[in-house]
A and B are shown apart, each in its own frame.
Chain A
Amino acid sequence: MVSRKGAMVACCAALAVVLGQEDVARASRLDIAILPFGVEATNESARVYWQEQSEIPSTRVGISVRVHVGNEFEQIISTQALNLDTDLQIRMVVTQLPGGVVLADFEQPLSSAYDVNIGSMGSFSLSSTLSFGPHTIATDSHPFQIAPLLMNTSAAPNAPLPVLFGSSSDGTPGAVAAMPLDMSSEFLMGGKAKLYHAYYDASSSMGAQQTYPHYSYAQIEDFIARARNRDTHYYGWTDTFLFAALVTIYMRTSLVLQSIFTNNTT
């Protein structure tokens, strides 16, 4: 049973912003949003909506820092954050918005504090410590994400967000940016699967229909030699597992396993 209460975030974003004097005016135009996982920081209506909420029904949150920098975007030199609970370094995604606005955002499990640095330009540098607390995560016994909560409880705390779910699919093959809303319950198995956003659009080199470059005889012969040598390729350990499934004789298997043990224990 998943609680409807979600992660209560009493947001006390304590900012330690280091600014040059001429940038004070611009600093006043800085704003920070804490969003449920999967909500795009560039979605202005969702951003406004969630900035007004005191409760976020997600244990994973998106945090974005938006600052007006005029035409000096190119001088932003670094964007990184640190999860102060885990000391995990976070690479921020930087988006240049119309009107000289820079948006830097990241998604992380909810932490009590983050140290955010979105770089500097001239005398202007911006580093912020964002503190959140106290927060409670009331989920009964299971953590959850927003999507199954929205789709599978009759009293979901908030309406579905269009950025998480898209319009109905017309059956046309091809990549769509958001899971079709009318299919989401089936995709998520009635709330038993979590939804994450990892979209590859049609222009992505890793997605969409494409004709792959050809592999020559020599290249494939090289692969064959590596396979005979039990080298692993892109999937790493999966190849080792597959080799273990395919081995045919005791001695060869024994040597393979001894080799693995030796390689990993010396």
Chain B
Amino acid sequence: MIAPFEVRQMLHLSPLFCLSLQDAYPIQGQRVLLVGSNVPWYESVCVAFGAALCVTLEYNELRYEHPGTHTFQALEWQKARNDSTPCKWPGQPFNCQFDAVFSISSFEHDGLGRYGDPISPSGDLKAMRALRGQVAPQGHLFLSVPVGEDAVYWNEGRVYGAVRLPLLFSGYHPKAAYGIDLNTLDAASITAAQQRHARMAPIEAFQPVFVLSSSAGS
């Protein structure tokens, strides 16, 4: 049995949670980029929540046979950007920046080589920096990575704690967090949040969702 208080804490909602709704970031009608994928689940979330466009970037080849999804291999996408190839889908030319970007359990793997990527200690930080150019000035990045005590599970992935998490956010402006309190990301608070999660979902990694913007004003 889980107390409502704990659930509210998991969702980072105060008892006056209606006020927190100002932090909601709808994607209806927006162009959405999804980074990293091997199952079209978050593409489906993208479609289900009414996005106008759902584009997936992935190291590997994907075959998602649905008109609501568009997939690119990362190298193919990067070459197109280097060549200044315009981004256009039927009826939707735009400047290759997205209103919303989803990165769910992806960047923690970058630089460890597990998925055929180059070995790089700062692969995750570089990926975050590179992504900034894809986030529209008023857009948001929905980021989820494992959170806990700072660690590297070679070569499975990283866990972000009080040291690495601020580095990962560098160049972005954290707007909201779901599953953890954005205002208390010190080691003790992260551990406490992780332990709460472990009581509720003992076999799941603790992966809150952070909403970040690429500019201070958005």
Contacts and interface: CB of A to CB of B under 8 A. Distances in A.
Interface in B27-76: 27-28, 38-45, 47-49, 59-66, 68-69
Nearest to B24: A247
Given A209-B116, A217-B66, A221-B66, A248 B28 contact: yes
B113 interface: yes
Given A175-B155, A193-B150, A193-B164, A227 B119 contact: no
Interface stretch (B5-13, B79-87, B89-97, B131-139): B5-13
Contacts of B4: 261, 264-265
B119 A214 contact: no
Interface stretch (A23-31, A88-96, A181-189): A181-189
B187 to A, nearest CB: 10
B121 A197 contact: no
Given A195-B151, A209-B59, A247-B21, A220 B66 contact: yes
Contacts of B65: 214-217, 220
Contact of A253 (B24, B69, B114): B24
The winner among A199, A224, A261 for most chain B CB atoms within 10 A is A224
- Chain A, interface size: which category? 35 or more
Contacts of B204: 235-238
B169 interface: no
A149 interface: no
Interface residues of B, number: 76
Interface string A4-27: 000000000000000000000000
Chain A interface mostly: mixed
A265 B63 CA distance: 41
Nearest to B11: A244
A220 B18 contact: no
Nearest to B211: A245
A194 B158 CA distance: 10
B148 to A, nearest CB: 10
B186 interface: no
Interface stretch (A97-105, A124-132, A166-174): A166-174
B142 interface: yes
A233 B41 contact: yes
Contact of A227 (B1, B48, B121): B48
Contacts of B69: 220
A187 B152 contact: yes
B114 A207 contact: yes
A197 B10 CA distance: 29
A89 to B, nearest CB: 14
A192 interface: yes
A238 B63 contact: no
Contacts of B59: 209
B181 interface: no
A49 interface: no
A178 B62 CA distance: 29
B3 interface: yes
Contact of A237 (B26, B27, B104, B197): B197
A192 B164 CA distance: 9
A237 B154 contact: no
A248 B26 contact: yes
A212 to B, nearest CB: 5
B21 A250 contact: yes
B18 A250 contact: yes
Given A227-B45, A236-B201, A257-B17, A179 B152 contact: yes
Nearest to B150: A193
Contacts of B208: 238, 241
A212 B64 CA distance: 10
Shortest Cβ-Cβ A-B pairs, 10 listed:
A214-B63, A209-B116, A223-B44, A227-B48, A186-B121, A241-B178, A198-B156, A248-B26, A198-B153, A241-B209
11 contacts: A175-B113, A198-B155, A213-B63, A227-B47, A237-B179, A241-B178, A245-B24, A245-B176, A246-B27, A254-B18, A265-B1
